[in-house]
């Protein structure tokens, strides 16, 4: 994960995510009720798997997808701890589904694309199926 030095930046970015994507606010409320605290490395992957993955796979909501990848681009250019959250919460999960990965490659900004390329390179040629 990350040291405490990046925790305020991570929390601020997660709060920004739920402000920008209000449609997932009920997931945050449920998370807070169940966990009693904001666990950033838990809630974002959960929202990805519960909602975002299907939106990307369908690739129908172009405006929403552009807005989402714009947010990821801000994460990719933020504090290194936020960049780690980006990789673990979103990018690492995108590599599991070839359709989602193709959408990601289409919509990624330059900073996000660099993080995604580094992540895929770190897993080698079979990145989509080689879950550690």
Residue-level pLDDT at 126: 60
pLDDT tens figures, 4-31: 779 999 999 999 999 999 999 999 999 9
The tokens 């947010």 sit on which residue?
71
Residue-level pLDDT at 96: 87
Measured CA to CA, the distance from residue 50 to residue 55 in angstroms comes to 10
Residue-level pLDDT at 81: 96
Residue 85 contacts residue 10 (beta carbons within 8 Å): yes
Distance between alpha carbon 15 and the CA centroid of its chain, in Å? 13
Per-residue pLDDT of the chain (132 residues; tens, 9 = 90+): 445 779 999 999 999 999 999 999 999 999 999 999 999 999 999 999 999 999 999 999 999 999 999 999 999 999 999 999 999 999 999 998 999 999 999 999 999 999 999 999 998 766 554 444
């Amino acid at each position: 994960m990350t040291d405490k030095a990046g925790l305020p930046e991570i929390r601020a970015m997660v709060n920004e995510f739920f402000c920008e994507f209000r449609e997932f606010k009920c997931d945050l409320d449920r998370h807070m009720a169940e966990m009693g605290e904001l666990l950033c490395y838990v809630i974002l992957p959960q929202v990805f798997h519960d909602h975002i993955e299907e939106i990307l796979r369908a690739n129908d909501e172009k405006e929403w997808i552009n807005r989402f990848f714009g947010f990821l681009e801000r994460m990719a250019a933020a504090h290194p701890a936020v960049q780690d959250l980006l990789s673990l919460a979103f990018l690492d999960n995108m590599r599991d589904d070839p359709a989602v990965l193709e959408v990601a490659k289409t919509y990624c900004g330059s900073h996000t694309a660099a993080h995604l390329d580094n992540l895929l390179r770190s897993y080698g040629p079979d990145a989509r199926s080689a879950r550690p």
